[in-house]
Structure formats: C-alpha cells, structure tokens
C-alpha cells in the first residue's frame, strides 16, 4: 500500500507537471525535497539522541521495565498479545508524551517503539495498531492552533479546545476500530 | 516546563538506583542516532513524492473534483483545501489555516471548523512513511486505509460540530 502511495504521488506529480510543461521545475522541487529530508533528519537527530539518551538512563536503572510491566495489561489489550515486550516501555512513553503535547519527545519514543515492534517484511497486528494510533493524532491540547487563532485576533482562541478533543477522540476511535476490524482480512 | 521536570525525574531515578547515568545516556543516544539514520531513506522518499505532488497543481484539481461530494456531506468548500492538505504536509496546512483565519475570521463558522480540522489530525502520509521506515517493514497491510479513515472521521466530525445555522 505504501508502495502504491509513493508511486501515485510521485508518478502523478511528475506526469501532471510534464503535461503542464513544467518538466524542469520538477527536478528543482525534487532536489529541494531530498535536501530538506536530510536537513530534517539531521536536525531531528540531536533531539533523538537527547530523548533516547534519557530513556537509556531509565532502561539501565530498571525503571523502563517497571513502566512496561505496569502498562503491559492495557497495552496488550490495545496492541494484541503479539507485541514485543521490549517495545512496550517506548509505546507507553510515546503515548504519554503525545497526550501531554510533547511532540519533540513523542517522535523519537514512537520511532524506537516502531523499530522494536517490527519483525520482518510484513507489519504485524501490534505495529499496525500502533502506527494507526500515531497517525490519527492523540494530542489533547492544540497549542499551535490556539496561538494562530490568538494571532488572528480571535475573541476566544481556546473555544476550539473541547471540539478538537471530541474530533480527535472520534478520529482515534475510528482508527482503532477499523484497525481491529481489518486486521483479520489484510 | 514538563520536559524539564521529566528529565530531572529521569536523572533522579538513575541516581537513586545507582545507575552509571553517563554511560546509560550514551548508549541510549547512540540508538537515537541510529534511528535518525534509519528513517532517512523513507523521509527523503516521502518528502520528494509529497512535494512533487503539491507542486504539480494536482491538488487544486482534486479539490475541485471532490468539492461537490464533500459539500453534500456537510464540509464547507472553504475548508476543503485545508482538509485535503492536512495528511500531506503540516506546514502547508498551517499556512492554509492562517489564510483561512485571516480571510473569514477566527470566530466564524469556517474559521472554527478549519481550526478543529487542523488540530484533530496528523500528517498521515509522512508519519506512516517514516514510522514504517523505522520498523523496516515493506508490507504495510491496512495501516494507510485505517489512518485515512481516521483522518476522514476527524475532519467530518469538525464540520458536524459546527452545523450550518
């Protein structure tokens, strides 16, 4: 599926650009994007090292295992029994940081969790569920949106907090339910 | 603030349990750096595909094509570009939100729906691509369909929460 998405986005974009006579512009865009990817990874690498280093302390001290044991029951309900126990402490940290709106810390924790959940070419049920939850936004406080609304002169920038929580809840719920429903078929 | 407290907590736990905190930090940091390198190919591939797609103008065509369908479902036409951009690019969606808020006012129905749409979903394609890259998985099974369903549900919920007066 991800292969098809890549093909459709890239192929469709290139073809449509060519038809419109912007064949040369595409190369500039592509090179710019590739460079942006490298720059993003390098700027992220620093924060990954920092947060994973902190997690390293928790792991070496045994606190990460304690956290994983505490979170094991609810997480196994969510992800299914097949989940790699080593990944659970990272999953727990990722979900907590996401809920608190700490995106900087949530991303490295999530990637470490995904790395440990993955086994082989085919995504297992636990990895599927974890990725769907992460792609469905679990953030409770839409801080960026509130700041933008305030900048635009809103009389009540925070008016969207409750509706956003409701909409986020619905989106995550639909993600979880559809994932549980489809995992038997695909 | 919260991050500072969490980090202090990590250090305190490490010290209490007599962990060699420096060594532990280094081994964790090494893993983080490996992960950053591991996601790089997926990151570049996804960014290239998304940027070319956005630059080609296919987005405008898609918006026009889908506008009648979503108008019938209760999503205002003015918020459709933002809704469709949201899974592709966070920064582009944020720019669209800023424009929408300025043009229609942050407290208008359009402005409120756009705000909730922005806050209730993620950059689905980018997130999925990078996380799959970290997991080293080739067959993504039902991940994308489910992630897109949840995006659709969140966006539709945003529109339903502010019905036409």
How many angstroms separate the CA atoms of B100 and A111, rounded? 33
**131-150 in chain B: CB under 8 A from chain A:** 131-132, 134-147, 149-150
A175 in contact with B at a CB cutoff of 8 Å? yes
At residue A122, φ and ψ (nearest 5 deg) are: -100, 130
For residue B125, give the nearest of A154, A8, A183 by alpha carbon.
A8
- State the pLDDT at residue B75: 93
Backbone dihedral region of A106: left (phi > 0), alpha (psi from -120 to 50 degrees) or beta?
alpha
How many angstroms separate the CA atoms of B31 and B33, rounded? 5
The Cα of B58 is separated from the nearest Cα of chain A by a number of Å equal to 7
For residue B122, give the nearest of B133, B131, B135, B134 by alpha carbon.
B131
- State the pLDDT at residue B103: 95
- Interface contact flag, B35 A115, Cβ < 8 Å: yes
Average pLDDT over residues B47-74: 92
- State the pLDDT at residue B97: 96
A62 in contact with B at a CB cutoff of 8 Å? yes
- State the pLDDT at residue B165: 73
Contacts of A59 (CB under 8 A, 6+ apart): A65, A89, B24, B28
Query: Rounded mean pLDDT of chain A?
Result: 91
pLDDT 10s digits, B93-123: 999 999 999 999 999 999 999 999 999 999 9
| B49 neighbourhood in chain A, CB within 8 Å | 5-6, 9-10, 13
A149 in contact with B at a CB cutoff of 8 Å? yes
Check: CB of residue B130 under 8 Å from CB of residue A108.
no
pLDDT band at A83 (very low <50, low <70, confident <90, very high): confident
Handedness of CA A65, A68, A72, A76 (dihedral sign): negative
Q: Please list, residue by residue across B34-43, b when 16 or more beta carbons sit within 10 angstroms of its beta carbon and e when fewer do.
A: bbbebbbebb
A82 in contact with B at a CB cutoff of 8 Å? no
Average pLDDT over residues A90-102: 89
Average pLDDT over residues B79-101: 94
What are B104's strand-pairing partners? Answer: none
Q: Which of A10-19, A22-31, A150-159 has the highest mean pLDDT?
A: A150-159
Q: Which of B94, B120, B127 sits opposite A167 (nearest CB)?
A: B120
- State the pLDDT at residue A65: 87
pLDDT 10s digits, B135-156: 999 999 999 999 999 999 999 9
pLDDT band at A155 (very low <50, low <70, confident <90, very high): very high
Domains in chain A: boundaries? 25-127, 136-186
Average pLDDT over residues B74-90: 94
């Amino acid at each position: 599926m991800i292969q098809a998405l890549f093909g459709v986005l890239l192929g469709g974009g290139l073809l449509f650009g060519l038809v419109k006579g912007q064949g040369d512009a595409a190369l500039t865009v592509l090179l710019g994007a590739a460079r942006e990817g490298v720059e993003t990874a390098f700027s992220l690498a620093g924060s990954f090292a920092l947060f994973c280093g902190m997690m390293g302390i928790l792991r070496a001290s045994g606190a990460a295992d304690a956290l994983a044991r505490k979170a094991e029951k609810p997480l196994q309900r969510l992800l299914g029994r097949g989940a790699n126990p080593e990944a659970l402490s990272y999953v727990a940290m990722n979900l907590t940081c996401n809920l608190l709106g700490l995106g900087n810390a949530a991303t490295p924790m999530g990637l470490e969790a995904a790395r440990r959940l993955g086994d082989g070419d085919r995504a297992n049920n636990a990895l599927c569920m974890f990725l769907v939850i992460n792609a469905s936004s679990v953030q409770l406080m839409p801080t960026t949106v509130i700041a933008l609304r305030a900048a635009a002169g809103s009389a009540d920038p925070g008016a969207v907090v409750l509706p956003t929580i409701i909409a986020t809840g619905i989106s995550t719920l639909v993600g979880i339910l559809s994932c549980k429903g489809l995992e038997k078929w695909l | 603030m919260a991050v500072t407290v969490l980090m202090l907590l990590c250090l305190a736990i490490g010290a209490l349990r007599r962990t060699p905190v420096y060594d532990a930090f280094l081994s964790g940091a090494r893993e983080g750096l490996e992960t950053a390198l591991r996601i790089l190919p997926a990151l570049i591939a996804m960014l290239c595909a998304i940027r070319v797609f956005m630059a080609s103008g296919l987005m405008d065509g898609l918006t026009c094509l889908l506008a009648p369908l979503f108008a019938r479902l209760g999503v205002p036409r003015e918020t459709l570009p933002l809704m469709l951009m949201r899974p592709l690019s966070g920064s582009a969606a944020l720019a669209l939100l800023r424009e929408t808020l300025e043009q229609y006012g942050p407290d208008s129905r359009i402005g409120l729906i756009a705000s909730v749409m922005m806050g209730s979903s993620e950059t689905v394609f980018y997130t999925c691509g990078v996380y799959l890259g970290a997991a080293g998985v080739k067959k993504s099974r039902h991940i994308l369909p489910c992630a897109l369903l949840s995006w659709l549900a969140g966006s539709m919920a945003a529109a339903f929460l502010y019905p036409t007066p």
